[in-house]
Copies of this chain bind each other. A is one copy, B any other.
Amino acid sequence: MQASYFTINDHPQGTPARELFELHQAELPELADGEVRVRNTWLSVDPYMRGRMSGVTTYIEPFALHAPLEGAAIGEVIQSRDTAFPVGTKVRHMAGWRDLAQLPGNQLEPLPDFKVPEQAYLGVLGMPGMTAWTGLNRIAGMKEGDNVLVSGAAGAVGSLAVQLARAKGGTVVGIAGSREKLDWLESRGIKAVGYKGKDAAELTEALQAACPEGFDVYYENVGGVCLEAALNTLRVGARIAVCGMIARYNEATPSPGPGNLAMILIRRARMEGFIVFDHWAHYPQFLEEVGPQVESGRLDYEETVEDGLERTPDAFLKLFAGANRGKMLVRL
């Protein structure tokens, strides 16, 4: 049986070109004992994958050149030599960027059984949802009534962070780019602030207008001008959860950081970086809290879908053009 998969042929500098990605076919070997063959139905593309393309170890091993890329995926078991995963089982695993995955059963997770579409386990009930929940609760220690600022607020993680924060009562402000994204935020009761065309001083003013008392929590997905403006609007004792800094991921040489970092001192604030994989032991707690909100429709989530394995690199590259609303997915 032939499997198709993507590789990269070089470590990109700056924004990766479409030509970086090569589609290959290979015959799958016979299943070894304990192995399972999965037909993938949904693939995830995520900003953190850019870091894995740079050839250096950051918080996760780099992708090897000319080897199948990896990422979260949902699929169905079509052949099995692991009794825990009979044919027909719906599973999640990390052998994405391909149509057929063959891997040991201990690298699979069966899908939980909430009444939600299966791809929800790549988004709102998967890594992005868990990331939003972890940053707010375990890193920033959000309390009832806290004023919360989220950058990248219409993205896969940000769109969930604003809603989870909103449910706890304080003023929630989301920073986003396009009119469409800002409209979506306002439809969810979130104060929306556009960053496009604004420098740090102008964005600071807009944030102060949206929440004059300032923010107890800043959920950071973007970096750059968003971070600089956010630092100006912190309350004393504020906590910043640093989930990502997508504004910088494609830079070949680093840009200077914010000139107002001393606000950390002036506001006695805390800034902490995290990666969700360190907190995965709390995934059941997250599911228990957020799963029912998704089932009932209280938590709104968006998906941007590309169709067909061959579109996977395009879906990935759109993340950096801000072209997705909510979770970016590939449907096979």
Contacts and interface: CB of A to CB of B under 8 A. Distances in A.
Interface of A: 58-59, 223, 227, 236, 242-245, 248, 254-262, 264-275, 278
A260 B245 CA distance: 11
Nearest to A259: B254
Contacts of A58: 266
B59 A266 contact: yes
Q: Report copies per complex.
A: 2
A264 B260 contact: no
Contacts of A255: 259
23 contacts: A59-B236, A59-B265, A223-B261, A223-B262, A242-B264, A245-B265, A248-B262, A254-B259, A254-B260, A256-B256, A256-B257, A256-B259, A257-B259, A257-B261, A265-B273, A265-B274, A265-B275, A268-B273, A268-B274, A268-B275, A269-B273, A270-B271, A271-B271
Nearest to A267: B273
B254 A257 contact: no
A272 B263 CA distance: 10
B271 A264 contact: yes
Contacts of A273: 264-270
B270 A270 contact: yes
Among A264, A265, A269, A275, chain B packs the most CB atoms within 10 A around the CB of: A265
Nearest to A237: B278
Contact of A242 (B227, B265, B272): B265
Contacts of A261: 223, 227, 245, 257-258, 261
Nearest to A257: B257
Nearest to A253: B259
Contacts of A265: 59, 242-245, 273-275
Contacts of A269: 272-273
Contacts of A274: 265, 268
A227 B265 CA distance: 13
